[in-house]
Amino acid sequence: MSATRAAAPPERAATGAPADGRRGSTLLRHLAVAVAVALLVLAASYGLAPFRNFQLATVAAYLCATAGLTVLTGLNGQLSLGHGALMATGAYTVALCQGAFADHGLTGGWLLAVSLVAAILVTVAVGAVVGAAAARLRGPYLAGVTLAVAVVVPALTVTFDGVFNGDQGLSVPVEPPPLALGAYFPYERWQLWIAAAGTLLALVLLANLVRSRYGRTFRAVRDDEVAARLAGIHVARTQVLAFVVSAAGAGLGGALLAVLAQSVSPGAFSLTLSLFLLMAVVIGGLGRLAGALWGAVLLVVLPDLTHSVTELFTVSPAVAQRLEGNLPLAIFGITLVVVMIAAPGGVQGLLSRLGRELLARWPGRRS
Amino acid sequence: MERFVFLTFDGLSRGAVYAAFALALVLIWRAARIVNFAQGAMAVAAAYVAYSVTAATGSYWLGFLAALAAGLLLGAVVDRAVMRFVDHTSPLNPVIVALGLVLLIQAVLGMIYGNEFRPAGTPFDRAALTVGGFAVVSPYDLFVFATVGLMMVALAWIFARTPVGLRMRAAAFAPEVSRLLGVNVGGMLALGWALASGVGALAAMLVIPTELGLHPNAMDLVFVSAFTAAVVGGLDSPPGAVVGGLVVGLVLSYVSGYAGSDLTPLAVLVLLLAVLLVRPGGLFAPVTARRV
């Protein structure tokens, strides 16, 4: 029995060249998609209301984290319930860096980039430590350890409240948009630009990694550890690498969230966030980066949707508050259970199946 | 010295509860090869039932019985309605489904009762009695020891001495053969879930009054501690769970007593990692070749 196996059905392209027969440079293709998406986001940032801009930026931030988790859980078969904690690591690093820059009177747009890179580096270091432990653990044990990480890390902010300021959290001073963009440039648009730029960069790198030799070794380890070892793959090293890559995504996502909210507090990075991330990648479709997008969109849209639904009913404010806080959780929970039982491939799995069936009916196409 | 004695008894009392909760995890692991990550949320749900019954009738004991009944029922329902339909080929699937249940149960509790801490009553005084000048143990601690002890004896008796217990062990050990011999394997599985969930509910009833109070997330850290306890003892071993629970309780009590209660979550994590990295099968695991 192989000890670890991903929830998603094994992909055909587990080893060897991509089986779907795409030609051309992978990097160029991904870059072209990224440029197209960037133009789309740019257009959207002018066409949408400021609040929608902010929501889109939040989607981008979550997307970093869900894409990272997809690489880990979907491609490498390691379950992590601790990604909320890794996001917290990134968020607090950004808060501390930006705070330190502000204290020393340093200003300039490039400082934010420095903070973001610092956040990624710190999260990578933490991820390497957790990943080194995780590489020796399987199945429920791994889930238990990462669950402990998710519960413990937010509590640490209270333990060391001299640095992290306990339950209050820290504020993240962020510079206003550069004056070159005009005096009345909406702040939310600037936030969207920052978040989208960071996320697109991360996604291009991740997409290339998934298609590369490393991506293939990730999948090989997921599908059969023994076979992978026989094929000369260093299993433990591969698992740590997957964890580190995934942690980098989570760190950047957390850092971007902190920049968007301009504050961090332990309440925002509770166990629930980790479960949300897991739910997002499962519903989106394990093992597919595109699935991470569906998950991230759902994370932002569903609470908003339930807010509008509860507004339809006239209930007392106390009841409304209870419903609003908990209805999204309940829906996420039910969806997680139902998707896991009925459609383990998630949204993206359903879509690709639909697409394949349509293509199969297309006359004159061999498939 | 006085402090040490007090912390030891406090740790044993906490440890007894962790042992009970770890035992619930071990029961399900032995019956179904699933670590029930929803155990904490299910136990909190039972504790909320007790809260409602106690509020309606004014009797702690009626609430206590209601929690046990709710725990048993919830366990059977979760098995029959959800876990039975999960694809078990990957160990990730049951874990993910259990986490979905955590979200769902906690959200429903939050919708009904609100996300604030509610005071949970105790049937006995929690102030420690002094024996020979030492503040040693409170009546409530004694109640905890007695309840957990009684429960363990009852479980041991059920599994070792009754026909139902024999069938449950057979169904877990060799499902196919048991089925051929006329054992209702599915029913035994549901019964195992019900028993484990009842034990979890009992543990929640005992531990919640000693913490901040009743809250949908009240058992999160308790779950992590109990998981640690189960891992310390080895997920396959009921006596190991008891010993592991006591060990974890003592360690946490000493850490919070001598180093500050803020550090207890960190201590749990360090203990869990240390045990898993040094002796992944737990302290009581037989030596086995690695399964591949």
Q: What is the pLDDT of residues B192-229, one digit of tens each?
A: 999 999 999 999 999 988 888 888 888 888 998 999 99
3-state secondary structure of A138: coil
Whether residue A91 is contained in a domain is answered as yes
Q: b/e for B122-159, b at 16 or more Cβ within 10 A?
A: beeeeebeeeeebebbbebbebbeebbeebbeebeeeb
Which range is least confidently modeled, A10-14, A141-145, A255-259? A10-14
- Answer yes or no: do B111 and A140 touch at CB < 8 A: no
For B36, which residue in chain A has the nearest alpha carbon? Answer: A140
User: Above 60 in pLDDT, residue A21?
Assistant: no
Count of beta carbons in the 10 Å neighbourhood of residue A48: 17
Instruction: Find the mean pLDDT for residues B50-63.
Output: 91
DSSP A309: H
- CA angle (B117 as vertex; A323, B57 as ends), nearest 5: 90
For A324, which residue in chain B has the nearest alpha carbon? Answer: B111
Q: How many structural domains comprise chain A? A: 1
Which positions 42-101 of B are in contact with A (Cβ < 8 Å)? Answer: 82, 85-87, 89-93, 95-97, 99-101
B115 within 8 A of A326, measured Cβ to Cβ:
yes
pLDDT in tens, A283-303: 887 777 888 888 888 888 888
Whether residue A127 is contained in a domain is answered as yes
A263 within 8 A of A209, measured Cβ to Cβ:
no
**Residue B289 confidence (pLDDT):** 53
Interface test with A, best of B28, B92, B118 (most A CBs within 10 A): B92
Reported ipTM: the value is 0.81
Q: How far apart are the CA of A2 and the nearest CA of chain B, in angstroms?
A: 6
DSSP B128: P
Number of helical H runs and strand E runs in chain B: 11, 2
Contacts B97 to A, Cβ<8 Å: 336-337, 340-341
Q: What is the mean pLDDT of chain B?
A: 87
Which range is least confidently modeled, A169-173, A296-300, A354-358, B88-92? B88-92
Contacts A147 to B, Cβ<8 Å: 37, 223-224, 227
Q: Which of A7, A73, A275 sits opposite B103 (nearest CB)?
A: A275
- Whether B37 has its CB under 8 Å from any CB of chain A: the answer is yes
Contacts A322 to B, Cβ<8 Å: 110-111, 114-115
User: Which of the listed ranges A130-134, A147-151, B196-200, B253-257 does the model predict with the highest average pLDDT?
Assistant: B196-200
**Residue A162 confidence (pLDDT):** 80
The percent of residues in chain A predicted with pLDDT above 90, rounded, is 25
Q: Residue type at B95?
A: V
pLDDT in tens, A181-210: 777 788 888 889 889 999 999 999 999 998
Place of tokens 């332990």: A266
User: Above 80 in pLDDT, residue B235?
Assistant: yes
DSSP A171: E
Q: Which of A7, A144, A330 sits opposite B93 (nearest CB)?
A: A7
**Looking at per-residue confidence, does A16 or A261 come out higher?**
A261
- Answer yes or no: do A272 and B103 touch at CB < 8 A: yes
The CA distance from B80 to B73, in Å, is: 11
User: Above 60 in pLDDT, residue A20?
Assistant: no
- Answer yes or no: do B85 and A149 touch at CB < 8 A: no
How big is chain A by its Cα radius of gyration, in Å?
21
The percent of residues in chain A predicted with pLDDT above 70, rounded, is 92
- Whether B102 has its CB under 8 Å from any CB of chain A: the answer is yes
Instruction: Find the mean pLDDT for residues A1-11.
Output: 42
Instruction: Quickly state the pLDDT bin for A16 (edges 50, 70, 90).
Output: very low
The CA distance from B132 to B272, in Å, is: 37
Whether residue A256 is contained in a domain is answered as yes
For A227, which residue in chain B has the nearest alpha carbon? Answer: B292
- Whether B217 has its CB under 8 Å from any CB of chain A: the answer is yes
Contacts B34 to A, Cβ<8 Å: 140
Interface test with A, best of B26, B82, B99, B102 (most A CBs within 10 A): B99
User: Above 80 in pLDDT, residue B183?
Assistant: yes
**Residue A11 confidence (pLDDT):** 43
User: Above 70 in pLDDT, residue A4?
Assistant: no
A99 within 8 A of A262, measured Cβ to Cβ:
no
Interface test with B, best of A79, A83, A145 (most B CBs within 10 A): A145
Q: What is the mean pLDDT of chain A?
A: 83
User: Above 80 in pLDDT, residue A314?
Assistant: no
Distances (CA, A) of A121 to A215, B92, B149: 21, 29, 50
Q: Which of A139, A155, A328 sits opposite B91 (nearest CB)?
A: A139
**Residue A154 confidence (pLDDT):** 82
**Residue B288 confidence (pLDDT):** 56
Interface test with B, best of A336, A338, A339 (most B CBs within 10 A): A336
**Residue A9 confidence (pLDDT):** 45
The CA distance from B238 to B242, in Å, is: 7
User: Above 60 in pLDDT, residue A18?
Assistant: no
Whether residue A293 is contained in a domain is answered as no
Instruction: Quickly state the pLDDT bin for B73 (edges 50, 70, 90).
Output: very high
The CA distance from B37 to A274, in Å, is: 14
- Answer yes or no: do A278 and B96 touch at CB < 8 A: yes
The CA distance from A309 to A304, in Å, is: 9
- Whether B285 has its CB under 8 Å from any CB of chain A: the answer is no
Place of tokens 């009842």: B198
For A330, which residue in chain B has the nearest alpha carbon? Answer: B104
3-state secondary structure of B235: coil
How far does CA A259 lie from the centroid of its chain? 16
Whether residue A137 is contained in a domain is answered as yes
B71 within 8 A of B43, measured Cβ to Cβ:
yes
Whether residue A308 is contained in a domain is answered as no
Q: Which of A7, A133, A318 sits opposite B90 (nearest CB)?
A: A7
Whether residue A319 is contained in a domain is answered as no
A182: its two tokens? 């005009």
- Residue A33: which domain range? 23-269
Place of tokens 């913490």: B211
Whether residue A303 is contained in a domain is answered as no
